[in-house]
Structure 1
Amino acid sequence: MCIRILLVDDHSIIRQGLRVLLEKKPKFEVVGEAENGRVALSMARKLEPDVIVMDINMPDLNGVDAARQILAERPESRIIALSMYSDRSYVKGMLKAGVAGYLLKNCAFDELTKAILAVAGNQTYLSPKVSDIVRKEFVKLMDAGELGVAEALTDKEREVLQMIAEGKKTKDIAERLHISVKTVEARRGKIMEKLRINSVAGLTKFAIREGLTSVEI
C-alpha cells in the first residue's frame, strides 16, 4: 500500500522538487500540492492524505494553525514540519499543534524519506538538529497544560491576527473568511483585549515573535 502524501509550501519550486524525488519511491504517492495552510486544510479534507509535509511560514494561514485545524478534523493524518527554522518558538508551536515530525530544509532527502516512513508508522521523527532536550521541555509543558499567550486565542482569532499582521484590510479579511466587517472588528478587539496590545503595529510584532507570520517590519 502506498503512503499518500500532501506537500504544503508557498514556494512552487520546492513542492515540485520534492514531488519529483518522492514519486521515484515505490511506496510513496504525492496526491496533491498546496501553496498555503488554508488550501492545505481544504485539500486534506478532500484527499485524506496519510502524511502531510508542511512548511511553517506561509501567507494567509501559517503552518502552526493549519496543522492544528487539520488535526482537529483528521487526527489520523500525520504531519511533518519542514522548515528552515530551528528556533524554539517554531518548534514549540508545531509540537503543540500536534505534528509527528520536524525536519530542517537543509536535511538530506534520505532523512525526509526516513521521516515519512516513521510517522506513517505512528512514530515521531525529529531532526537531529532539533535538540532532544528542547523536545522534552515542550512535551513537559504540554503535559502540564501550560499555555502561552498566543494559545489563549481561538483559531478564528489567530487567523484574523495573522491577516492583520500581513497588512490585509478589514474588508479584505472579511471577504477572505466569509464573515462581516463587524465580526472582523469584534475579533480584532477581542485579540487586543486578550494580548493587551492596543495597536496594529503591536499586533504585527507579536505575530512575528510568536511565529504566526514571517512578514518583516
Structure 2
Amino acid sequence: MKIKLLLVDDHQIVLKGISFFLTMQPDFEIVGEAGNGQEAVERADKLQPDVILMDLNMPVMDGIEACGRITAQYPHIKVLVLTSYSDQSHVVPALQAGASGYILKDVEPEQLAEAIRSAHKGNIQLHPDIAGALLTQFKPQGQGHDEAEGIFMGDGQVTDFQPAERHESLTPREKEVLQLIAQGLSNKDIAQSLVVAEKTVKTHVSNILGKLQLSDRTQAALYAVQHHMNGGTKS
C-alpha cells in the first residue's frame, strides 16, 4: 500500500518541486494539493491522506490552526510541518497542535522522504536544528551538554521517537518529575525542588522513560511539550 500524501503550501513553485521529487518514490502517492490551511482542512476530509506536508505561513488559515483542526477530527492523519521557520514560537505551537514532526525546507530530499515514512509509522520527526532549539529551551541555564543524563543530541540526523500516549500510566510523582524535566531542571535541581534524594529522582526518571518507551530526557521533554505537560519554561 502506498502512503497517500496531501501537499499544502501557498507557493506553487514549492508545491511543484516537492511533488516532482515525491512522485519518484515508489511508495508515495500524491492525492492532492492545497494552497492554504482552509483548503487543507477541506481536502483532508475529502481525500483522507495518510500524511500531510503542511506549510505554516499561509493566507486564509495558517498551518498551525489547520493542523489542530485536522488532528482533532482525524487523529489517524499525520501532519508533518515543512517550513522555513525554526523559532520556538512556531515549533512549540505546531507540536502542541498535534503535528507529527517539524522539518525545515533546507532538509535533503532523501531525508524528507524518510521523515514522511517514519511519521507514517507513528514517529515524531524533528529537523536537527529544531531539536537543538528545543534542547536550548529545556537545558538548565549555565550547564553544558550532559551526555550522562541524555541531554546531548548530536549526529545531525532527523530525530524521531514514538509519541503514543502512555503518560496515563505515570504516577502523580512521575508526572511531576516529567514536568520539571521539560522545564529544564537537572536531577539535582529536581531533587531540591521536591525535597527528595537525587537517587530517588534518577529512579523516577528511569521509570518515566521506561513507561513512555523513550530513550532519553530530551525525548521526554519533547513528549511533555506535545502533551501540554511542560507547565511553562524556566526564565
Bin for the TM-score computed over the shorter chain: 0.5 to 0.7
Distance 1:147 1:75, change over 3 A: farther
Q: In structure 2, what is the Cα distance between the partners aligned to 1:61 and 1:147?
A: 27
Match of 2:87 in 1: 87
Distance 1:143 1:114, change over 3 A: same
Deviation at 1:70, TM superposition (A): 0.5
Aligned partners of 1:2 and 1:27 also within 8 Å = yes
Distance 1:111 1:31, change over 3 A: same
Match of 1:152 in 2: none
Aligned partners of 1:9 and 1:15 also within 8 Å = yes
Local SS of the residue matching 1:106: coil
1:15-41 deviation per Cα after TM superposition (whole angstroms, max 9, x unaligned): 111111100111000000000000000
Deviation at 1:139, TM superposition (A): 3.6
Are residue 140 (structure 1) and residue 227 (structure 2) matched? no
When normalised by structure 1's length, the TM-score is 0.64
Distance 1:10 1:147, change over 3 A: farther
Deviation at 1:146, TM superposition (A): 4.2
Q: In structure 2, what is the Cα distance between the partners aligned to 1:62 and 1:69?
A: 11
Structure 2: segments with no counterpart, 5+ residues: 139-217
Aligned partners of 1:31 and 1:49 also within 8 Å = yes
Structure label with greater radius of gyration: 2
Aligned partners of 1:80 and 1:102 also within 8 Å = yes
Q: Say how many residue pairs are matched.
A: 148
Residue identity in the other structure for 1:117: R
1:177-203 deviation per Cα after TM superposition (whole angstroms, max 9, x unaligned): xxxxxxxxxxxxxxxxxxxxxxxxxxx
Q: In structure 2, what is the Cα distance between the partners aligned to 1:6 and 1:103?
A: 16
Are residue 31 (structure 1) and residue 31 (structure 2) matched? yes
Aligned counterparts, 1:16-165, within 5 A: 16-131=16-131, 133=135, 134=137, 136=218, 137=221, 139-141=223-225, 142-144=227-229, 146=231
Aligned partners of 1:92 and 1:138 also within 8 Å = no
What's the RMSD between the two structures over aligned residues? 1.9
Local SS of the residue matching 1:49: coil
Aligned partners of 2:96 and 2:228 also within 8 Å = no
Local SS of the residue matching 1:94: helix
Q: In structure 2, what is the Cα distance between the partners aligned to 1:146 and 1:52?
A: 29
Identical pairs, percent: 38
Runs of 4+ in 1 over 2 A off after TM superposition: 134-148
Distance 1:127 1:145, change over 3 A: closer
